[in-house]
Amino acid sequence: MNILSVDTSTKNLGIGILASGDRLFAHRSEEEGHSSPLFPKIEKALGEVSLRADEIDLLAVVSGPGSFTGLRIGMAGLFGWAAARELPLQPVSVFEAIEAQLEVHSTALIVVHSRGTEFYTMLVRGGKAVGPKVCGLREALKLVDRECEVCGPGATELLRQAEEMDGDLPRLSADYLLSCDMIMVCRLAESKYRSDPAAADRLEIEPFYMTLSQAQINFERSAGKADHQ
């Protein structure tokens, strides 16, 4: 099975390919708001493993949480490709991907930055997960003890904000745990697809937002004010 994965949940665009014959490709590039076209980058990635677009069997997309605009770009782009070519599309969350990268008995707080001092977190201890949940900075820091490392795309922002507070700083994880491994995303997508192929074939996927976007918050505030006038 030839699998292509895409992660647009952060500014670091990730593309991964897991192809037959042990052909692998994984690359991340920093984007400015994902304004540059996605599919030319995918086409270039396919060329790296001598694969054509019509040879892809399964599409995988990181479904969030993360950048609201970024998630929409990645999911809409792959949804269109999947629908046009009648391919299955399998979502994989940031938490699923990074949890799968952890060592079996490790203790880690997976963090994605939401906005301001708000974070999405999932605590993994001894192979068991608590969350995901939405936390303020202080609440997130209370989840971390001496055995716990902080990982995920929001880890460095959590530590940056923690520097302004009293107390010991949490321990930052190794670099490879700060973002989704795109080959791991491919493997997880394949496993999830094989366990329930009908779900991916139906293309019934939605971004894993966890909270409202700032635009939605502003709209609801404006609507609320209008109702009271």
pLDDT digits (tens, 9 = 90+) for 68-92: 999 999 999 999 999 999 999 999 9
Residue 222 pLDDT class (50, 70, 90 cuts): low
Residue boundaries of the structural domains of the chain: 3-94+180-211, 95-177
- Tell me what the pLDDT averaged over the chain comes to: 90
In the prediction, which pLDDT does 229 show? 56
In the prediction, which pLDDT does 32 show? 66
Residue 217 has pLDDT above 50, yes or no: no
140 contacts: CB under 8 Å, gap ≥ 6? 109, 111, 119, 121, 158
Count, residues in the chain? 229
pLDDT digits (tens, 9 = 90+) for 17-63: 999 988 999 999 987 666 668 999 999 999 999 999 999 999 999 99
CATH class, range 95-177: alpha beta
* 3-94+180-211 shares its CATH topology with 95-177: yes
More confidently predicted of 113 and 146: 113
pTM of the complete model: 0.91
Compute the Cα dihedral for 5, 10, 94, 147 and give only its sign: positive
Query: How many C-alpha atoms does 81 have within 13 Å on its Cβ side?
Result: 25
Compute the Cα dihedral for 42, 44, 47, 49 and give only its sign: negative
More confidently predicted of 122 and 126: 122
Quick check: 92 and 60 in contact, CB under 8 A?
yes
More confidently predicted of 199 and 191: 191
Q: At what angle do helices 182-195 and 94-101 cross, to 10 degrees?
A: 110
What whole-number distance in Å separates Cα of residue 127 and Cα of residue 46? 35
Q: Which helix (H) or strand (E) holds 44?
A: helix 38-48
Distance of CA 21 to the CA centre of its chain: 27
Report the CATH number of the 3-94+180-211 domain. Answer: 3.30.420.40
182 contacts: CB under 8 Å, gap ≥ 6? 5, 7, 14, 15, 16, 26, 27, 28
In the prediction, which pLDDT does 6 show? 97
